[in-house]
Structure 1
Amino acid sequence: MKILSIQSAVAYGHVGNSAAVFPLQRIGVEVLPVYTVNFSNHTGYGAWRGPLISPDDVREVITGIEERGVFGEIDVVLSGYQGGEGIGDVILDAVARVKAANPSAIYACDPVMGNAKSGCFVAPAIPVLLRERVVPAADLITPNQFELGFLTGTEPTDLASTLASADAARALGPSTVLVTSVERPDRPEGTIEMLVVTDDGAWIVQTPHIPMKANGSGDVTAALFTAHFRTSGDAADALAKTVSSVYDLLSLTHASGQRELQLVEAQEFYAHPRMQFPVTRVR
């Protein structure tokens, strides 16, 4: 499998491509990373150095890949945080060109906008771009519960309303929606859930909630689920493997006392998920 991953990069820590590439490689995926920024560290520190890469330069890199004749071999285009409207246009253009070369290729989009605690932290134009142009072009999206509501104009809370919101998102274009952080009021205390909805059904998995802010964990989640699902076509199995790997990554990071994901130290959990959490079909 080959994945064209268009995301940010940092030298220190793990977000964007600096979070997604290694886990994908560890499970045997060939990744073609294209960077949208090249920062010293993620912006959560409040200070960072390094350049934003202009949309024209990002497009040039993608065109250079196309000129090597490999677009027909790309199975997935993956994108995450989009810093500006210009990058969105470049990504959509790349998706169209990859799909022209390989009609079986899919576009997986992590529609990064914010979360319930921080609210929306992207430029005001980005949610509109995602909702009106990017998500309709995607085959798979991986929003958190807050982003799902923002995209669909709904308020997902309990399981029924979250399923309805996922269906509203699927009506925009993507056939598969992975909701990466479901916090419904009737769940057991100290737990969190992940939900996937496809044409074939819906499945949920519950894990203990690890009390930490883990920048980049959503990027790892989107990458692993996309690869597993693209490989097997089995949403429940892809969900089980992804949740197992990400939980163990977060657990290891929390135990280390470090702020940054212990991405390399957790590598065996990507290659050999423990499958410790049952997946329940809910529709």
Structure 2
Amino acid sequence: MEDDTPRVLSIQSTVVSGYVGNKVAVFPLQLHGFETSIINSVQLSNHTAYEYVKGQVLGAREIAELCEGLKLNQIDNFNFIITGYMGSKSFIEKVAEAILQMKKEHPDTEYLCDPVMGDNGKMYVPEELLPVYRDTLLPLADITVPNQFEAELLTGIKINNLNDTLSAIDMMHSWGIKTVVMSSSTLGKDRNTLVCVGSNCTEKGIERYKIEFPFINATFVGTGDLFAALMLIWLYKDKNLKLALEKTVSALQYVVKKTVAYAEKHKSPEKEKVSFALMELKLIQSKNVLENPEIVFHAESID
């Protein structure tokens, strides 16, 4: 592409109020100079943990029409494609068709797949989506960022230790995925520590790193979407997996701590639980850190 400005197509959910999906991903991408095009897989009033949720779901026909419009106008040339939450089998299949076509016409296009299926041992999408992610979508990916539960679902490997993690990651590498990052796992030294593991296939071999960070006992929504966007940003900018992990985890931890601090300050003294509205990610308030994170958490090489 003649223009040096990286172009990215982000296919994720969105909400009117709060931060999840594209509402999380687009802000940091644009802060870092990415020309960001957006397809919203669902459009909801708010995320689904609230008591009431209203909105619309984009179907297979609609996604096909949007992608056809981009193709007909010859504006489907993206440096990057990123996908997050997608709620139906037919929708994912149409997205896969579009990505395959875009990559065929523009071979340098890189695709980051965040296989959003569940967390903490629970799926929050239909089970029929699992084989579509595994067999159709992920083989198109250059980068993937599953959490521990999603990595287990995709590979069929129960992850109890670092060796299990590496086995699952190697299986995903065997599908043709160059960079695999398990965004979070419960493999820390104790229950108060989480671990992120990244692996990258290079010309010199495979480089692997792990990075530990504290578990914060609170319910967050949108952190996985932010993780994916930040990984894409720093992998592109620094061309360095270790640095990308450190900047992503450090920035994300800053955002969640700022969110908790805000919620604690403003919570109702009459209510035991903090409201979901108070726990929306403090993304805008973290602008400077998202742009230039101080590295607080350091990655270690895995031999």
TM-score bracket, normalised by the shorter chain, equals: over 0.9
- Report the counterpart of residue 125 of structure 2 in structure 1: 122
- Report the counterpart of residue 266 of structure 2 in structure 1: none
**1:63-92: CA deviation from partner (whole Å, max 9, x where unpaired):** 2233332323x1111101120011112211
- Report the counterpart of residue 16 of structure 1 in structure 2: 21
- Report the counterpart of residue 245 of structure 1 in structure 2: 251
Q: Distance in 2 between matches of 1:142 and 1:189?
A: 22
CA contact (8 A) 1:34 1:62 kept: no
Q: Does 1:161 align with 2:164?
A: yes
CA contact (8 A) 2:41 2:85 kept: no
Give secondary structure in 2 for the equivalent of 1:44.
Answer: coil
Give secondary structure in 1 for the equivalent of 2:125.
Answer: coil
Q: Does 1:55 align with 2:75?
A: no
- Report the counterpart of residue 195 of structure 2 in structure 1: 193
1:203 to 195, 199, 209: 209
Structure 2: which 5+ runs fail to align?
1-5, 264-277
- Report the counterpart of residue 275 of structure 2 in structure 1: none
CA contact (8 A) 1:82 1:126 kept: no
Give secondary structure in 2 for the equivalent of 1:181.
Answer: coil
**1:132-168: CA deviation from partner (whole Å, max 9, x where unpaired):** 1111221111100111011000011211211111111
Structure 1 segment 8-87 matched on structure 2, within 5 A:
8-72=13-77, 74-87=78-91
Q: Distance in 2 between matches of 1:105 and 1:98?
A: 8
Structure 1: which 5+ runs fail to align?
none
TM superposition shift of 1:101: 2.8
Please, what TM-score do these two structures have when normalized by structure 2?
Answer: 0.88
Larger-Rg structure = 2
Give secondary structure in 2 for the equivalent of 1:107.
Answer: strand
Residue identity opposite 2:257 in structure 1: S
Q: Does 1:261 align with 2:281?
A: yes
Q: Does 1:174 align with 2:185?
A: no
Give secondary structure in 1 for the equivalent of 2:139.
Answer: helix
Q: Distance in 2 between matches of 1:89 and 1:142?
A: 20
- Report the counterpart of residue 4 of structure 1 in structure 2: 9
Q: Which runs of 4+ in 1 moved over 6 A?
A: none
Q: Distance in 2 between matches of 1:242 and 1:13?
A: 21
CA contact (8 A) 2:86 2:92 kept: yes
**1:102-130: CA deviation from partner (whole Å, max 9, x where unpaired):** 2111111111111125x112102111111
Give secondary structure in 2 for the equivalent of 1:51.
Answer: strand
Between the two proteins, the alignment pairs up a number of residues equal to: 280
Q: CA RMSD in A?
A: 1.4
Q: Distance in 2 between matches of 1:69 and 1:130?
A: 27
